[in-house]
C-alpha cells in the first residue's frame, strides 16, 4: 500500500504527495515538525500538517520572496529575515555580495535543527554574515534597537498558530520602524485563489502603512492551487525599478527568477485589480 501525505484546505481542497519514508517527526514547544522523502518533490518539510517547502520546488518560492526586493535596493547591506527556518531565504539573500549582515529571527529551534540535519542543501548556515536569533519576531520588531535594515523579508507560514501575529497592522508597523528610507519589505501573501480573503487583507492592510504595496505572483507546486503570491511594500521604491548591478550578481545563477519573470510577475489579473481598487 502506498503512503500518502495530504494537506487539506478548509475541507474543500486536498493536495497529496506519495511518501517513500519519514526522516524526522517531532513536536516542538510550538508546532509539529516533519521531514519526509516524497516521490515527486524529494525531501519535504511540513509543519502542523501544512507543507512548508520541498527540495524539488523550493527555488520557485525562495527566489521570488527574495530577489524582487533585493534587486530594487542598490547596494543593500543589511537584511532582516523573519521566520525562514529552513534556510532557503537566507541562502538567496546571501548570494548578493553587497550584503554585510543578515539577521534571521526564527521562533523554533526544532525547525532549524531538522532542516540542517535533513535538508542541508537549502541553507547557507556557515556564512559568517548570518546571525540566527531563536526568538519571537513579534517582540523583535517592537523592541529591537538596531541599525535600520535595507530589506526585510517575512518568510512566515500561514497566519495560524505561532505565525498568526505576523499578519496584522501592529506587526507591519514594527517592520516599518526597522526599515530604512529607501528600503523594501517583502513577504509571502498566500494563494490568491484558495485563500483570497487573507490575500486581499494582507495587501490592503499593507497599503495603510506603506505608500506602495504591490502583489506579485508565481508558481509553487507544493502549495495547493499552484499559484502563489508575494507582496512588495515600500515608501519610496518602485517595484519595477531594477538595479542592473544588483541583478547581475544573481540572475544567471537562478533556476526560475530573471528580469522578465520580475516584470511579468507584477501583472495584476482583472478580478484582483477590481477587488484591490
Report the CATH number at residue 46.
Answer: 2.30.140.10
| Shared domain check, 126 and 68 | yes
Position 163 scores a pLDDT of 47
| Shared domain check, 197 and 139 | yes
Position 10 scores a pLDDT of 86
Domain boundary among 17, 34, 54: 54
Position 158 scores a pLDDT of 62
Output the pTM of the full model. Answer: 0.95
Position 277 scores a pLDDT of 84
Query: How many domains is the chain partitioned into structurally?
Result: 2
DSSP 3-state percent helix, strand, coil across the chain (nearest 5): 30, 30, 35
| Shared domain check, 28 and 102 | no
Sequential pLDDT tens for the chain (277 residues) = 579 999 998 898 999 999 999 999 999 999 999 999 999 999 999 999 999 999 999 999 999 999 999 999 999 999 999 999 999 999 999 999 999 999 999 999 999 999 999 999 999 999 999 999 999 999 999 999 999 999 999 998 665 454 455 668 889 999 999 999 999 999 999 999 999 999 999 999 999 999 999 999 999 999 976 799 999 999 999 999 999 999 999 999 999 999 999 999 999 999 999 999 8
**Alpha-helical segments (H) within the chain:** 58-70, 88-93, 109-118, 137-143, 169-178, 196-206, 244-248, 259-265, 270-276
CA nearest neighbour of 93 among 124, 58, 134, 128: 124
| Shared domain check, 198 and 82 | yes
Domain span holding position 139: 58-276
| Shared domain check, 130 and 147 | yes
Query: Taking each helix axis from N to C terminus, what angle separates 196-206 and 169-178, rounded to the nearest 10 degrees?
Result: 50
pLDDT digits (tens, 9 = 90+) for 180-210: 999 999 999 999 999 999 999 999 999 999 9
Per-residue buried b or exposed e for 159-185, using 16+ beta carbons within 10 Å of the residue's own CB: beebbeebbeeebbebbbebbbeebbb
| Shared domain check, 169 and 63 | yes
Q: Is 155 an annotated catalytic residue? A: yes
| Shared domain check, 220 and 85 | yes
| Shared domain check, 164 and 78 | yes
| Shared domain check, 91 and 43 | no
Position 226 scores a pLDDT of 74
| Shared domain check, 105 and 166 | yes
Say which of 155, 158, 252, 271 is annotated catalytic.
155
| Shared domain check, 45 and 81 | no
Strands in 212-219's sheet, in edge-to-edge order, are: 130-134, 101-106, 78-83, 149-155, 179-188, 227-234, 212-219
Position 156 scores a pLDDT of 85
Does residue 177 sit in helix, strand or coil?
helix
Amino acid at each position: 500500500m502506498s503512503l500518502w501525505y495530504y494537506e487539506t484546505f478548509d475541507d474543500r481542497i486536498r493536495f497529496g504527495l506519495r511518501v517513500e519514508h519519514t526522516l524526522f517527526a517531532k513536536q516542538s514547544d510550538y508546532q509539529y515538525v516533519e521531514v519526509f522523502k516524497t516521490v515527486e518533490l524529494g525531501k519535504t518539510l511540513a509543519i502542523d500538517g501544512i507543507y512548508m517547502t520541498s527540495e524539488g520546488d523550493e527555488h520557485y518560492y525562495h527566489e521570488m520572496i527574495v530577489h524582487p526586493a533585493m534587486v530594487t535596493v542598490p547596494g543593500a547591506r543589511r537584511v532582516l529575515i523573519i521566520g525562514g527556518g529552513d534556510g532557503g531565504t537566507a541562502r538567496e539573500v546571501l548570494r548578493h555580495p553587497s550584503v554585510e549582515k543578515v539577521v534571521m529571527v526564527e521562533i523554533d529551534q526544532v525547525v532549524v535543527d531538522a532542516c540542517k540535519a535533513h535538508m542541508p542543501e537549502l541553507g547557507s548556515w556557515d556564512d559568517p554574515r548570518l546571525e540566527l536569533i531563536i526568538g519571537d519576531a513579534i517582540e523583535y520588531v517592537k523592541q529591537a534597537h538596531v541599525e535600520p535594515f535595507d530589506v526585510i523579508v517575512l518568510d512566515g507560514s500561514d497566519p495560524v498558530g505561532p505565525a498568526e501575529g505576523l499578519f496584522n497592522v501592529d506587526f507591519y508597523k514594527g517592520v516599518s520602524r526597522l526599515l530604512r528610507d529607501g528600503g523594501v519589505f517583502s513577504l509571502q501573501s498566500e494563494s490568491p485563489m484558495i485563500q483570497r480573503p487573507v490575500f486581499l487583507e494582507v495587501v490592503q492592510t499593507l497599503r495603510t502603512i506603506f505608500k506602495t504595496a504591490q502583489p506579485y505572483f508565481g508558481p509553487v507546486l507544493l502549495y495547493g492551487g499552484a499559484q502563489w503570491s508575494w507582496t512588495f511594500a515600500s515608501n519610496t521604491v518602485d517595484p519595477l525599478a531594477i538595479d542592473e548591478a544588483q541583478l547581475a550578481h544573481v540572475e544567471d545563477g537562478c533556476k526560475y527568477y530573471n528580469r522578465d519573470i520580475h516584470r511579468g510577475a507584477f501583472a495584476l489579473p482583472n478580478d484582483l485589480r477590481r477587488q484591490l481598487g
